[in-house]
Amino acid sequence: MNQLSSRFPVNRSAMAMSRAVAAMLVVAAPAARAQQAADLSPVVVTGKAADTPPPTKSAPSQNSLAARSAQSTVSDDSVRNYTSPVSDYTQVLSMVPGLFSYSPNGAGLGDSKITIRGLPDSYALFSFDGIPFNDTNGVSHHSWVFFPTEFLGGAIVERSPGTASTVGQASFVGSVDFQSRVLEPQRRTSVTASVGTWNTHLVGIEHETGQFGEDGRSNLLVNAQEMRSDGYQTYNSQDRRAVSTKFQTALGEQTTLTLFGSFLDLANYTPSTKGVTRANYDAGNYNVLLSGDPTRPDYYGYNFYDIYTNFFYAGVSSSLGDGWKLDDKVYYYQYHNKQNYNGTTISATSAIDKLNSYGTAGNLLRLARESTVGTARVGVWLDRADSNRYQIPSNPRTGLDTLAPNFSEHYVTNTFQPYVEYEFKVSDALRITPGVKYALYQQHFDHLQDNGGAVGPLGGTYNKTTGTITGGAPDLRNSVSYSDVLPSLDLHYLLQPNWSAYVQLSTGDEIPSTSIFDVKNAQVSPEPKPTRAKTVQTGTVLNTERVTFSADIYYTKLDGTYTALPPDSFGNVGYVLTGNQTSKGVEAEANFAIGAGWSAYVNGTIGSLKYDAGFWVAGAPRDTETVGVNYQRGPWAVSVSANRVGRNYNDAKDGTHQAFVIDPVVVTNLYANYTIEHPTSFTKQLKLQFAVNNVFNRHDIVAVAGPVAGSSSANPQPGDLLTVLPARSLQLTATVNF
């Protein structure tokens, strides 16, 4: 039984409104009479080369001849055929070189993180249709919210800090730009039903108006879905409801307007630290997470999430004349995560009532002018995020909070990033592009009194017995500014019409987490500066009638993390960098069109990510590989792939490096699609999809999520919390188009 059936988040009114809007759009849109089709392709300022040899359709990931860095593109075709509707963006990115992730509760059934070149996604820039998004207390991303795979039309992954025009926070290791759905010229209504392992089921409806209105200038896509699952891990169930809309219209011969909106509401039972104890794993109980016993501290009713997200933007793309092009997007997105979790005992203060909520608004303006001597690109990103966060000790049985929080704060983050770059056309084959970006971040904090977990009682007295604070200031306000100048330079050379090479030097940065001010009276001096990453890489791309191939060599020098120093005589806490990290390696990917519908895909990365002292950074593998075979012909679209992650290490509880050895892991997945055209007189198409994740039912340990004191691979402890591959899962999906 799904434990979430009787519990829903508080944002039901917003969800009901979004459903009503979606319903009106679905009803109203078919009434628009389709007329002569107009070109609704957006006018983009910077685009990708239109190199489309036969192998590109079957390639799950590939680079472009026009790329100026190590870049991979995942197509809409790959998303539609080789992910299931219950999955999330981690599956969309699973075939990209050097990227991997694990979903211990099953694909799409938890909050998973991706790793890029050995570093977690907190060092990467994520965007949607070019608009950056991330948590505001420190860069992080959540795969189970914002954009289910049914909202995505592919992704562009850049494995470097990027060029000057790559705006956003934390471009250390690279960037991922998720693309919205591709609008279609013909009208259709699709109904989807999906059932699978662990009582997983999804129902959805999607309406595509096709091009309608005067000269077929407009188009609208609406998608609504509900997914429920018990999940692989015990009592880790999930209820996800989501709606998205995308509208596009040609305002004239040279201008396109795009409107996008999405809503997602999720309820889930998950503890704060997610993992299976080593004792259970050794006993063969690979999925024991929470219990159904309210007398136990791990009772599922004491550990739950209620999350609401939305994402809106309005974009205008236009050719202005005299070689000028404009792309401007104004946006707003919201993340509201209300979480409760319990500790290892049950008491009046053993649980935590937690809120992480923010609303972000901004504008991203890009301009470009192309001439006979080159292309000038200028732009500016403006962003303001208002955030509210707290953690309050709570009674798990009654839900009553104590009066004094561990911390409670409101803060505003303002970001200003202008850039300029010029692509010099030295010859028809050679382009050289220098650029520079200025990054300014300003944060304004309002810290409330707390029990000593962060800024403290601010001159008052905290009574641990009653949980109250007497006297002192009710709050404390402070501000901080960070700034950086980030240059970039790249050279792109077209060796042959189907063969290119590039060299890139780029710089990325990341500002410190807001937790640096979680010290007594928020006294921080001197304030730490942004950390930086400097990358140099060179690569090549070759596309022929039967092969797409790309390879690159990279070297990155990264600043380490900050460590707090003991308070000085005035109570100020300072921070110092804990050395540097060096990332280096070689990557390659290729897709081979064999013939008769068959193709083969391979990628591989061999590299290292180490501290100055020579120790490996936790979670960074020595190598990753992917091998896949695809078949696309007639009604069939089939893919079998195996992803291997090489040996890596995890740190001990006291921070000792390489304490745990994580052996290589291989995960094999299968997707099979069969499409029937006009199965009945009143249906246009029936598509059946069969997905199998972890075909060989492996239960490998992929990480030590929560090591206990003194534990290591040489001395493993039963209390270690392990991240383990979920069992084999099957998902059968049927989609009928009307």
For residue 426, being part of any structural domain is answered with yes
Residue 51 has pLDDT above 70, yes or no: no
Average pLDDT, whole number, for the chain? 91
What value does the mean pLDDT take over residues 442-449? Answer: 98
d(CA 156, CA 152): 12
* Number of CB atoms found within 10 A of residue 413's CB: 21
User: pLDDT-derived band of residue 603, with 50, 70 and 90 as boundaries?
Assistant: very high
> Which residue is listed with tokens 């009604």?
635
CB 455 within 8 A of CB 406: no
Residue 6 has pLDDT above 50, yes or no: no
Q: Work out how many domains the chain is built from and give that number.
A: 1
Alpha-carbon gap, residue 716 to 279, rounded angstroms: 10
Contact 72, 56 (CB under 8 A): no
In the prediction, which pLDDT does 55 show?
63
Question: Has residue 200 been placed in a domain?
Answer: yes
Looking at residue 13, what is its pLDDT? 40
484-514 in b/e burial notation, b at 16+ Cβ within 10 A? bebebbbbbbbeeebebebbbbbbbbbbbbb
> Does residue 459 carry a pLDDT above 60?
yes
**Predicted local confidence at residue 85, as pLDDT:** 93
Sign of the dihedral through C-alpha 511, 512, 515, 520: negative
The angle subtended at Cα 105 by Cα 353 and Cα 242, nearest 5°, is 70
Could you count the other beta carbons within 10 Å of the beta carbon of residue 646?
17
Rg (CA), the chain: 26
* 129 assigned to some structural domain: yes
Q: In percent, how much of the chain has pLDDT > 90?
A: 86
Specify the length of the chain in residues: 738
For residues 171 and 47, the model is more confident at 171
Burial of residue 641 (CB within 10 Å: 0-12, 13-18, 19+) is buried
pLDDT for residue 26: 36
Percentage of the residues of the chain whose pLDDT score is greater than 70: 92
Q: What is the CATH number of the domain that holds 709?
A: 2.40.170.20
Confidence of residue 151 (pLDDT cuts 50, 70, 90): very high
Say if CB 689 and CB 79 are below 8 A apart. no
List, for residues 309-330, the tens digit of each pLDDT value. Answer: 999 999 999 999 999 999 999 9
**Quick one: pLDDT at residue 569?**
85
Question: pLDDT confidence of 7, banded at 50, 70, 90?
Answer: very low
Report if residue 570 sits inside a domain. no
CA distance 676 to 679: 6
pLDDT in tens, 542-561: 999 899 999 999 999 999 88
At 619, list the tokens.
Answer: 């979670």
Q: What does pTM read for this prediction?
A: 0.91
18 assigned to some structural domain = yes
Q: What is the mean pLDDT of residues 727-736?
A: 97
Query: Residue 568 domain-assigned?
Result: no
Residue 456 pLDDT > 70: yes
- Between CA 585 and CA 663, with CA 649 as vertex, the angle to 5 degrees is 95
Which candidate, 6, 4, 10, places its Cα nearest to that of 268? 4
| 13 vs 86: which has the higher pLDDT | 86
Among 422, 421, 424, 423, which Cα is nearest to 437's? Answer: 421
Classify burial at 627, counting beta carbons within 10 Å of its beta carbon; exposed 0-12, middle 13-18, buried 19 or more: middle
Range of the domain at 190: 3-563+575-737
Section 717-722 average pLDDT: 96
CA nearest neighbour of 641 among 679, 613, 672, 601: 601
pLDDT class of 56 with cuts at 50, 70, 90: low
* 221-264 tens-digit pLDDT: 999 999 999 999 999 999 999 999 999 999 989 999 999 999 99
Average pLDDT over residues 166-193: 94
The answer as to whether 145 is a domain residue is yes
CB 738 within 8 A of CB 682: yes
Identify the pLDDT of residue 54.
53
Task: Indicate whether 19 pLDDT > 70.
Answer: no
Q: Quote the distance between the C-alpha of residue 102 and its chain's center.
A: 13
3-state secondary structure 497-543: CCEEEEEEEEEEEECCCHHHHCCHHHCECCCCCCEEEEEEEEEEEEE
Per-residue pLDDT of 251-298, as tens digits, reads: 989 999 999 999 999 999 999 988 999 999 999 999 999 999 999 999
**Sheet containing 119-120: which strands, arranged edge to edge?**
99-101, 114-116, 119-120
What does the pLDDT read at residue 9? 41
